[in-house]
Amino acid sequence: MADKLKEILSPVSEELAKVDINIKKNLETGVPFIDKSALHLFAKGGKKIRASLVILSAAMGGEVTERVIELAAAVEIIHAASLVHDDIIDKSFLRRGDLSVPSKFGDKVAVLAGDYMYLTAVGIAVDNSNKKILKSLSKATREMVQGELYQLEYSNIDKITQEHYYNIINRKTAQLMAASAFIGGAEVGFDDNRCNALYSMGLDLGYAFQIVDDTLDFSESSEVTGKDIGNDFKDGKITLPFIYILNSGDEADRSKVMDFYRSPDDADFAEIKDLIHRSGAFDFSLAKAREFAQRSKDWLDIFESSIYKDIIIEIINFVVERNY
């Protein structure tokens, strides 16, 4: 599956390589301890979907300039910073198939590394005089933090609705996807109509992405996903399969899930995973992800046919088919 994404992104591989160089250039300080903690998460590369959206959205309307590369680097750094802070909150041991930053360096260093990464991304962004771009990135970053706070607020509520859930993932995931697509178009001078279409495309893609992530929590193994299987559920995170069981499952299923939710036990997780699949919660969630993916593709109808538009469509398809 990793090879599949690499194949999809091969037409912009040179641009993505430049993004990697730019990330390293901006985060490196010459102080080994700082550099190791700030760059640790980038050692495995990651999917770079957000950076790709910046590049491809720009390419649909003009040239992929050095400024576009810098903005792509900024969104990847923002995303990575959010993952570092997520892993502190969630006490996640693994990230991208390796030790998470807090696991490797400790929580105190991880907090500061995440802060440093956020501020570095801000520094890249403020070099751009385009107020629309600055406003978009600022809004996305602010809403990501709000999403974490909303998630903590809802984490102990027995009865939660899909509306609450979508409110969380809009902020935690979808807003940065939306901003990534938007700023690529804004940088090359797309009109408001097209910039807004790119924003909406990224937003719906973000919803699809997060819902698929929810299903991966009940996936095969951490070796496949590169993350701790079941960690979100054990930590009390509200995910769509969980909500489906609460609102649509029978009383016995609801009771079993809530008992596990209140007192997580690794020994019982296999049974919960089986219940999620058997009840239809897994299939329901994937169907919702596909709905958002189709809406995401529909927003691209306003743009002329091009290889870059085709690649975005392939990325959207990949997001709902992936296993990591």
What is the DSSP code (8-state) at residue 220?
Answer: S
- CB of 281 closer than 8 Å to CB of 245: yes
pLDDT digits (tens, 9 = 90+) for 167-188: 999 999 999 999 999 999 999 9
Neighbours of 28 (CB within 10 A): 13
How far apart, in whole angstroms, are the C-alpha atoms of residue 185 and residue 136?
A: 12
The amino acid sitting at 249 is G
Of 21-25, 182-186, 261-265, 289-293, least confident by mean pLDDT is: 261-265
- CB of 185 closer than 8 Å to CB of 132: no
- Predicted confidence band at 119 (pLDDT cuts at 50, 70, 90)? very high
pLDDT mean over 236-248: 86
How far apart, in whole angstroms, are the C-alpha atoms of residue 229 and residue 173?
A: 19
Q: What is the pLDDT of residue 228?
A: 64
Tokens of 154: 């809802």
- Predicted confidence band at 225 (pLDDT cuts at 50, 70, 90)? low
- CB of 132 closer than 8 Å to CB of 195: yes
How far apart, in whole angstroms, are the C-alpha atoms of residue 204 and residue 207?
A: 5
How far apart, in whole angstroms, are the C-alpha atoms of residue 303 and residue 197?
A: 9
The residue count of the chain comes to: 324
Percentage of residues in the chain having pLDDT higher than 70: 94
- Predicted confidence band at 203 (pLDDT cuts at 50, 70, 90)? very high
**Domains of the chain: residue spans and CATH:** 2-321 (1.10.600.10)
How far apart, in whole angstroms, are the C-alpha atoms of residue 241 and residue 272?
A: 11
Q: What is the pLDDT of residue 264?
A: 79
- Three-state secondary structure of 120-164: HHHHHHHCCCCHHHHHHHHHHHHHHHHHHHHHHHHCCCCCCCHHH
- Predicted confidence band at 74 (pLDDT cuts at 50, 70, 90)? very high
- Predicted confidence band at 39 (pLDDT cuts at 50, 70, 90)? very high
Q: What is the pLDDT of residue 57?
A: 99
Of the candidates 250, 255, 261, 238, the residue with the CA atom closest to the CA atom of residue 162: 238
Q: Measured between alpha carbons, how far is residue 126 from residues 80, 130, 133, 195 in Å?
A: 19, 9, 9, 20
Token pair 């997001």 in the structure block, residue: 319
